[in-house]
């Protein structure tokens, strides 16, 4: 009876942990991709502003 209890407990908790881990990995990759995209977009925007001369203060 004890062996059956521990087997059931293991099979009950493993899928929950696996799904939680997959969710965490997906959210982490989405957030990292967003952060990288924002950084690249800011660099491109800064280059364009410099190219067009928009960084100079208006006098």
pTM of the model: 0.66
The pLDDT tens digits for 7-58 are 898 999 999 999 999 999 999 999 999 999 999 999 999 999 999 887 766 5
CA angle 11, 14, 17 (to 5 degrees): 155
What's the pLDDT score for residue 57? 60
Element spanning 34, H or E: helix 2-52
CA distance 41 to 35: 10
pLDDT-derived band of residue 3, with 50, 70 and 90 as boundaries? confident
Mean pLDDT confidence for 2-11? 84
CA angle 21, 26, 31 (to 5 degrees): 125
């Amino acid at each position: 009876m004890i062996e059956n209890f521990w087997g059931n407990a293991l099979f009950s908790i493993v899928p929950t942990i696996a799904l939680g881990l997959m969710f965490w990995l997906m959210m982490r990759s989405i957030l990292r991709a967003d952060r990288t995209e924002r950084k690249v977009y800011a660099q491109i925007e800064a280059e364009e502003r410099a190219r067009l001369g928009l960084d100079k203060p208006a006098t």
